[in-house]
A and B are shown apart, each in its own frame.
Chain A
Amino acid sequence: MILSVNIAGVEWKSPITTAAGIVNSGKEYGTYTDLSILGALTTKGVSLDEWMGDTVPRITETYGGMLNSIGVQNPGVENFIKNDITFLKNLNANVIVNVCGHEIKEYVSVVERLNSVDGIDMIELNLSPLNPDTENKWANFGRDIETTTKIVSEVRKVTKIPLIVKLSPNNLSDIVEISKAAEAAGADALSMINTLIGVRIDIFRKKPSLGNKIGGLSGPSVKPVAVGAVYRVAKSDVKIPIIGMGGITNAEDALEFILAGATAIGVGTANFGNPRVTMNILDGIKQYMSDNNIDDINKLVGAALNS
């Protein structure tokens, strides 16, 4: 049974990664689950300098999901390299470093720094709609074709490491058009979706539940939106592979994304409800393949697109 997939020239032993910002660099989750079954581990967002993150409460549960505004708390790229790279190199899975910044030149500087580090297999650009820019407005680097083109091409100029661009559907633009722009600007792969912007109100305190007021929605409640994004982009003339994510909790969810056109899948929020969920999903995919006499996972990729 073939479970390996190829994303932008990088061979993954299984089609599963962790969504950025969930397992940090894997040290904590590695005590609960076998991270070596992953095709890749995606790290938490890494910025140029230390980011302190948002005020608490940073998370609140919603029906079938959760809102977060962690604010990408991270120690900055130098401390990331010093503290986490050795651990990541020994994982026996590909390492995807998620990169974030307040402005384009910060993304470029982080990627330039990562170029010289051994053990990084792919870079994922976090174009989250929630990242603040230097004036604390929403930077939303994936908001339109122009901004997406600019950031992807600037980063592309400075690195040969395979580049994944992470996108989210938003009301300002069509994710298919943004995906085309990312591909044309040099992206090697796409990951989708990032969280959706949301708010929960605490009816007793009569104010938003999150310290940052606005957060990103993740979990099972976003899944149809995420499958829809993957399906539409896969059906378009975008050629680069898609890593699908958004509410994946079990093998059935993962298979929906794969059949909709994702070459691999990412698991985020579900790790909180079950630290071994990635192992369970892989087992479930194998079971499905064996039950349905499928010898190669790649035969399932996009199988639902031609119906």
Chain B
Amino acid sequence: MKDVFEAEIISNDQIALDIYDLYIKSPEEVSKAKAGQFVSLFTDNPAMVLPRPLSLCDIDKESGIFRIVYRAGGSGTRQISKYEKGQIIKGIGPVGNSFRILPNTKKFAVVGGGIGTPPLLELCKKIKNEVPDSEIFVYLGFRSVSQVILEEDFKKYSDNVYITTDDGSYGHHGNVISVMKTEPYYDVIYSCGPTIMLKFVAKYADSNDTKCFVSLEEHMACSIGACLACVTKVHTKDGEWAYRRVCCTGPVFNAKEMVWT
């Protein structure tokens, strides 16, 4: 039987505006985890009845440590941001499917937006490990310089890391799509970020006949597939649509399946 894990906090530091960098030690869960999965962490406040689903930014099998870069945007994540080194945090997971690397893909576009960026770092590590002659182009979009994260980390896996900001305060002024269009083609695109960005990435992929995978975020209660809160619309074979659970059918979906609203 699976159990709630209890992980020791190794560090939990602020790295940008409202953004924190959490390292937790949980060897058994780390040994099972795959790029693209997430964990759901519990706060110790009984007034907060739901766990917080947070993506895995790095899965270090050697040290048994998860790295989780998260935004302290709501009450629960703000509470987690106050936890200190040495404290124990409970959680469930790893949960969800994962980023798959298709055969015969060499040229990768990795497109992140805001706090959707972290899980793409572990994906880049996976690509580097599994596809020795890969070429990775990384496009990361943020609102402003105060929210830019993980630039140096992505440079470990790619010589082509492009940052954009909405207000032009850092990197390219504008959105990631306009920058990614400067390359003539990609074999595959992976993206995680705001829905509106994913929609445009998917549209770009579709018009260029490029394979594309998107990782979604949705409000969750149970995180294990039972409660049917975190659903998203996908096309079905009969030309209709159906709801699929983001927590366990996803969070990674083939962009072609998605019904964008």
Residues of A near B224 (CB, < 8 A) are 28-29, 31-32, 275
Contact yes or no, B243 A53, CB < 8 A: yes
With the chains together, A103 CA to B51 CA distance in Å?
36
- Is B179 in the interface zone, CB < 8 Å from A? no
Contact yes or no, A32 B1, CB < 8 A: yes
Contact yes or no, A24 B219, CB < 8 A: no
With the chains together, A160 CA to B92 CA distance in Å?
41
A162 to chain B, nearest CB (A): 25
Given the interface contacts A58-B219, A59-B220, A59-B221, does A53 sit within 8 Å of B228 by beta carbon? Answer: yes
With the chains together, A88 CA to B161 CA distance in Å?
52
B75 to chain A, nearest CB (A): 8
- A interface bracket (residues with beta carbon within 8 Å of B): 35 or more
Contact yes or no, A220 B47, CB < 8 A: yes
Residues of B near A73 (CB, < 8 A) are 228, 231, 243
Contact yes or no, B46 A66, CB < 8 A: no
Chain B: interface secondary structure? loop
Residues of A near B231 (CB, < 8 A) are 53, 56, 58, 73
With the chains together, A144 CA to B49 CA distance in Å?
32
With the chains together, A260 CA to B140 CA distance in Å?
57
- Is A244 in the interface zone, CB < 8 Å from B? no
* Contact among B46, B51, B221, B222 for A249, CB-based, below 8 A: B46
- Top-9 shortest CB links A-B: A28-B226, A57-B219, A59-B229, A58-B229, A24-B226, A28-B225, A64-B47, A219-B49, A28-B224
Chain A: interface secondary structure? loop
Interface contacts beyond A273-B51, A275-B4, A275-B222: sample of 10 additional A-B pairs, CB < 8 Å, sorted by A: A34-B1, A56-B218, A59-B50, A61-B48, A61-B50, A70-B228, A220-B47, A272-B49, A272-B50, A272-B221
With the chains together, A115 CA to B139 CA distance in Å?
58
Residues of A near B92 (CB, < 8 A) are 32, 275
A73 to chain B, nearest CB (A): 5
Residues of A near B131 (CB, < 8 A) are none
Residue interface bits A237-255, CB-to-B below 8 A is 1, else 0: 0000000000001000000
Contact yes or no, A70 B229, CB < 8 A: yes
With the chains together, A249 CA to B242 CA distance in Å?
34
